[in-house]
Amino acid sequence: MTALEAIERRFLRHVWFPVARRDDVGEAPVRATLLGTDLVVYQAGDRVVVAAGHCPHRGMAMWLGRPTADGLECPYHGWVFAADDGRCVRIPSLPDGTAAGPPRLRTYPVAVAYGHVWTSLAEPYLPMPEPAVPADRGWRFAYGVPHDLRCGMRQLTENFRDISHFPFVHAGTMGDQARRVVDPYRVVRDGWRLRWGMTTDLGGTALGGNTALANKIRLTHGVVLPMAATVHTEFPDGGRRFLAQFATPLDQDGGRVRLFWTLGIDHIVREKHGVDMNEMWDYERRIFEEDYPIVENQVPAEAPLDLRSQQHTAADRYSVVYRRTYAELLRAFAADTGTQS
């Protein structure tokens, strides 16, 4: 493990990550995992709670428990833990129903954004990624089924914004073998955010050959470090599409991630072009599925922070800037928190 990787292990505990789709959190608790930590996500009244995944009494899985008016009830012995601070408020086997110095089910910070429930295992070092779409375009959103992959967070984030692989990996969806050369582009940095744009053709492959949604489109790519990647698509007639991908590390070894994604299309795409959300959803799903065997079969499984360990070209400009900026972020975190490698 390199010095930067050692810092990263600590840093990631201070990062907001999505751990569940908001729509999946309802009557039954949801199991989640972040950096090797089991979590439970549940609904308590009008609030969403993220807590430790196992009861402190006998280690029972709390995602098998039952939400109550007080919080969450353990399915093993009926202990109830408060939603606000995880304090045990009821122990049915005791005469007075409580215990001195009551145990707690640890709770974590919660945010709901992009249709997902987010949390951080420690005090967040960076703010939540802000919503990146204007609110006045009649957007409709859909949220992809989370998918687990055998690769690292950086690897998946890089792939999502890598553009030179389109003609080869995505020839059946949005790639075009006739457009292999990547035009020069410039990556703009704003703090820990990266952004770059280009106008391109998709060769008529998008959405079954709908050329109005394939040719002369403007793509604006963005990444909020370390892993919130977005792309805004602007069509010549003014229609818009938005796609965001979030890579949540399931372990601390950079070997497994859970992909969360959000898709949005505005009223022009729906009404003028007759594209409904199901059609766009299926199109994006097929693109993701083309990527899966790629990101799962690279060595190493995580994108190296040491740029000298791989070869790079001008088409890889984003990847190089991403890795350099992320390394700088890790060093800033270490300096601010006194973290030693």
Helix (H) or strand (E) holding 243: strand 240-249
Q: Is the pLDDT of residue 216 over 50?
A: yes
pLDDT score at 204: 47
Q: What is the pLDDT of residues 97-155, one digit of tens each?
A: 777 677 999 999 999 999 999 999 999 999 998 766 766 678 899 999 999 999 999 99
Report the C-alpha gap between 39 and 133 in whole angstroms. 30
- The tokens for 16 are 């907001």
What was the pLDDT predicted at 102? 77
* Banded pLDDT at 210 (limits 50, 70, 90): low
Tokens (6 digits) for 45: 């009244």
Q: Please check whether the domain covering 17-119 is classified as CATH 2.130.10.10.
A: no
pLDDT at 324: 96
Biggest CA-to-CA distance, the chain: 77
Quick one: pLDDT at residue 198?
Answer: 77
CA distances from 310 to 299, 300, 305, 306 (A): 11, 10, 10, 8
Give the tens place of pLDDT for each residue, 304-321: 999 999 898 888 889 999
- Which tokens in the block code for residue 228? 């919130």
Long-range CB contact pairs, 93-98, < 8 A, 24+: none
Q: Are 15 and 124 in contact (CB under 8 A)?
A: yes
Q: What is the mean pLDDT of the chain?
A: 89
**Residue 246 · residue 228 · CB < 8 Å:** yes
Model confidence pLDDT, tens digit, residues 176-209: 666 777 777 889 999 999 998 877 666 545 554 5
Q: 47-102, pLDDT tens digit by residue?
A: 999 999 999 999 999 999 999 887 999 999 999 999 999 999 999 999 887 776 77
When mean pLDDT is compared across 33-47, 138-152, 214-228, 295-309, the lowest value belongs to 214-228
Give the residue extent of every domain in the chain: 17-119, 140-331
Helix axes 317-337, 153-161, angle to 10 degrees: 140
Domain 140-331 falls in which CATH fold? Naphthalene 1,2-dioxygenase Alpha Subunit; Chain A, domain 1 (3.90.380)
User: Using 50, 70 and 90 to split pLDDT, how confident is the model at 224?
Assistant: very high
Percentage, residues of the chain above pLDDT 70: 91
